[in-house]
Structure 1
């Protein structure tokens, strides 16, 4: 989703707020807005905050605050969904389908994949290199109970 590369933090957060508002009002949405609204709908714990836009636009979510960053979490859902749709890395779609069958719901499977993605991103950032897509895929395949190549 290249649109995210050119947006500031505030612009990205506003996209979430606007998409959720449009969803609640039942007005037409762009495809990306519909994807965002779908992810928000799966997270009732974030909905009230998104409806109080003044509270979340400027808030810094730090580990010390004890609150997870809803925008990061939902953004990781969108990233995982994009990976599944494009089958990148190759094998991701099959691993997701197997994991969803194992966990019982696509949403639960996405949450497990998000943990793997966050770990891969953290490792890459710490090492100052791009994420290792194959190591990431092997983690997801392992969760899904697939034979790891």
Structure 2
């Protein structure tokens, strides 16, 4: 059997104590919260993927400011292993008229406390962990990522 890790990106976007999250439908048809996140595509850098996924899923242009962490996660639902590179970013411009990706119910600004109160709605435990790492000051220079 051939094993492949799935490379994904996620973006922590904070504005005045609230975080930009995506409300989406999971594979088992539950409404869940996640960071703007998705898979790295062919011929794309990790930084480009993070900016693209954030725009496609939330309608927000962002400026990446740091790497907050690199995580390895195996989903219990399907056994797939994901390597998530999580970035911090600042919001730049909102495009409210922009259509969001299929399966996205909408972008939501939430505090950490609001999110923490709903663990049954997290896409995975990484949703809160990435925010907590960000709040604890985890910041690595974008130059850490080499194309």
TM-score, with length taken from structure 2: 0.28
The structure whose RCO (Cα within 8 Å, separation 6+) is larger is 2
Q: Which has the higher helix share?
A: 1
Q: Which has the higher strand share?
A: 2
TM-score, with length taken from structure 1: 0.28
- Higher Rg: 1
